[in-house]
Structure 1
Amino acid sequence: MNKLWTFAFILILAGCSDGTQSASPLLNLKDSQGVIYGDNSLTEVRDQAALRGNPRYELNRQASVALFFKKDLTKTDQGYTYGDQTVADFFNTCPDYKYSKTKNPASCSGTLIAPNLVLTAGHCMNTTKDSCADTAFVFGFEEGTTEFPSANVYNCKRKYAESFFEKNTHNDYTIVELDRPVEGVTPISLNSTSLAVGQSLYTIGYSMGTPKKYAEGTVRAFDQDSVITTLDEYFVNSGGPIYDKTTHELVGIVNGGEDDFEMNQEKGCYEPKVCKEDECMGEVMMPLSVILQNLKDKGLSL
């Protein structure tokens, strides 16, 4: 992960504003998803007893991919491993926080949408001078995984499609063409579906850079070409898939949201920010329907 990118991204967003826009949660958008809305739903993907074994859920789980900066991966005889940086090292979280000692090497989240195509957030692929060359795509990063076989690690061949805050929109997605088709993983189908306030959702991603996590929430409101949700997301959930909890259909991707943590002045460390379901700015989702329309406008198909 790159702390400098968070600051750079805020500057980019500031530059995108012409100073005439009305007040909107999106004006405060940062690569800093976070906050627990109501009860904490953040868990390991394998701990979802009610969903585990459901074919659609398992497909969605397997199609999730972690983005890594290549510099954070180390080649071994069997594949790749990663360093010892933890959530506490990066965020200065309090020692009693559940994930403080968890290693957090991932930089963003994504989803396999074709044998060799990954959908993620645009800002995830604009973090360095050559993000395509600098980013690796790792499948199977779940709790207990300390090493990845080479077969699970893919490279970016090119950006197949991208809309990164172009033409005064809030569009923030990239579709990456990988260096080879992904083996053993079924891509997610892309079907444009309608959304409604109160609709139940879940996301699968790499919260805080840690192994694959599940979190849920609902649609709170609609804001221009984005949707505001109450998903319990964190930094590095960016680009991750958002699914309808009933149908398991992909409905959008994670773009940004409220600050993750608040300083505990007495302890001198950070704790997760907690909001009521109807408080704080909410979490920003880019709807799949907007992505598909943008692809159509560009004359591209999947």
Structure 2
Amino acid sequence: MKRNSFVATMTVALAATFSVGFVNITPKVIYGDDNRVDVYQVTRADIREIADSTVALIPTRDIQNQGNGLVKILASSYGSSMNLCSDEPFFDQPSAANCSGSLVGEDLIATAGHCISSSDCSRYAFVFGYKMTDAKTAPETLPEGEVYGCKEIVAREYTSAQDYALVRLDRPVRGHRVLSLAQSAAQPGDAIYVVGHPSGLPTKVADGAQVRAQQGAYFTSNLDTYGGNSGSAVFNARTHEVVGILVRGAQDFTYDRAKQCTVSNRCAETGCRGEDVTNISYIVNALKK
């Protein structure tokens, strides 16, 4: 993507295909400059507040109650578990999330349809605040109040075109803002950004992207996203309304035979297949029922 407009400049990259519940997530890719940054690096308070409404979908087996009001998040080491080259960004950060989601009602989360189903409902926790607080402080423990369960799947489709889910949590969310949803479809050329958990990492924000083409059920873009970003909210950069849900894209990684490790795949701004984003209208309609 083009250089950041509201976040500090930082080079980043990541991901690979992995299994989430009953389905394999399709990885995403970097287009042009890599704009991914941690939330603490974001200079605008309004964007940090929006990022605070993002959830990480983490298997309940990887969350341990410590008995003191905190939970421990069990995570793998991103760089070593993915066999990344040591100079890859975020190499030392933890990876715990299988997918991403966002708060669209007091007890409702929007995510991708391939991220969760009725049979998976009890297997995933929806965790707010899974983010780096500075360059060295990872979210190893979080307040137990930031962890929510899945009560039911309110609406869900998972086809070649539609890919979305609306999930009701086990209780109303406190301390996080309900996001505003766009009432009209994103159009080619619109500036957009994404907030989520690429490759299961702590929350990342990436801007500088555009809508490439509107396909009706979804639109294509040059967002810098990866497996784990599935379910991430995509925002209009002018209105900061959610315009879609990131669902699929091009291949993330390539193998560097000389270094004998994995490096990030990169495409030109207008190259590769693009990243697909389900139009938010499906969630808007589900909320009306």
Task: Give TM class, smaller chain.
Answer: 0.7 to 0.9
Distance 1:133 1:181, change over 3 A: same
Provide the rounded CA distance (Å) in 2 between the counterparts of 1:102 and 1:70: 20
Letter in 2 for 1:133: S
Aligned to 1:183: 174
Distance 1:191 1:279, change over 3 A: closer
Aligned to 1:131: 120
1:210 is aligned to 2:201: yes
Aligned to 1:301: 288
Letter in 1 for 2:275: E
The answer as to whether partners of 2:78 and 2:94 remain within 8 angstroms in 1 is yes
The answer as to whether partners of 2:250 and 2:275 remain within 8 angstroms in 1 is yes
1:9 is aligned to 2:18: no
3-state SS of 2:183 partner: coil
Letter in 2 for 1:160: V
2:50 to 43, 60, 66: 60
Distance 1:275 1:147, change over 3 A: same
Give the TM-score normalised by the residue count of structure 2: 0.86
CA offsets 1:240-270 (integer angstroms, 9 cap, x no match): 1000011101100100101111110111111
Aligned to 1:196: 187
Provide the rounded CA distance (Å) in 1 between the counterparts of 2:42 and 2:59: 29
Paired residues, number = 268
Provide the rounded CA distance (Å) in 2 between the counterparts of 1:208 and 1:246: 27
2:142 to 124, 148, 158: 148
Provide the rounded CA distance (Å) in 2 between the counterparts of 1:211 and 1:68: 11
CA offsets 1:88-124 (integer angstroms, 9 cap, x no match): 2332211111212211011110001111110100111
Q: CA deviation at 1:187?
A: 0.8
Give unpaired runs (5+ residues) of structure 2: 1-14
3-state SS of 2:95 partner: coil
Letter in 2 for 1:33: P
The answer as to whether partners of 1:32 and 1:236 remain within 8 angstroms in 2 is no
Provide the rounded CA distance (Å) in 1 between the counterparts of 2:146 and 2:101: 14
**Residue pairs, 1:1-302, within 5 angstroms:** 5=19, 9=23, 31-49=25-43, 52-54=44-46, 57-78=47-68, 79-126=70-117, 130-143=119-132, 144=137, 145-165=139-159, 170-216=161-207, 217-293=209-285, 295=286, 301=288
3-state SS of 2:45 partner: coil
Aligned to 1:16: none
The answer as to whether partners of 1:207 and 1:213 remain within 8 angstroms in 2 is yes
Distance 1:34 1:191, change over 3 A: closer
The answer as to whether partners of 1:62 and 1:140 remain within 8 angstroms in 2 is yes
The answer as to whether partners of 2:246 and 2:277 remain within 8 angstroms in 1 is yes
The answer as to whether partners of 2:56 and 2:100 remain within 8 angstroms in 1 is yes
Provide the rounded CA distance (Å) in 2 between the counterparts of 1:159 and 1:286: 18
Distance 1:163 1:7, change over 3 A: closer
Provide the rounded CA distance (Å) in 1 between the counterparts of 2:102 and 2:120: 17
Provide the rounded CA distance (Å) in 2 between the counterparts of 1:289 and 1:274: 30
Provide the rounded CA distance (Å) in 1 between the counterparts of 2:271 and 2:22: 27
Aligned Cα root-mean-square deviation (Å)? 2.2
Percent identity between matched residues is 31
Q: CA deviation at 1:2?
A: 11
Distance 1:124 1:84, change over 3 A: closer
3-state SS of 2:94 partner: coil
Give unpaired runs (5+ residues) of structure 1: 11-30
The answer as to whether partners of 1:45 and 1:204 remain within 8 angstroms in 2 is no
The answer as to whether partners of 2:72 and 2:140 remain within 8 angstroms in 1 is yes
The answer as to whether partners of 2:100 and 2:197 remain within 8 angstroms in 1 is yes
Distance 1:45 1:88, change over 3 A: same
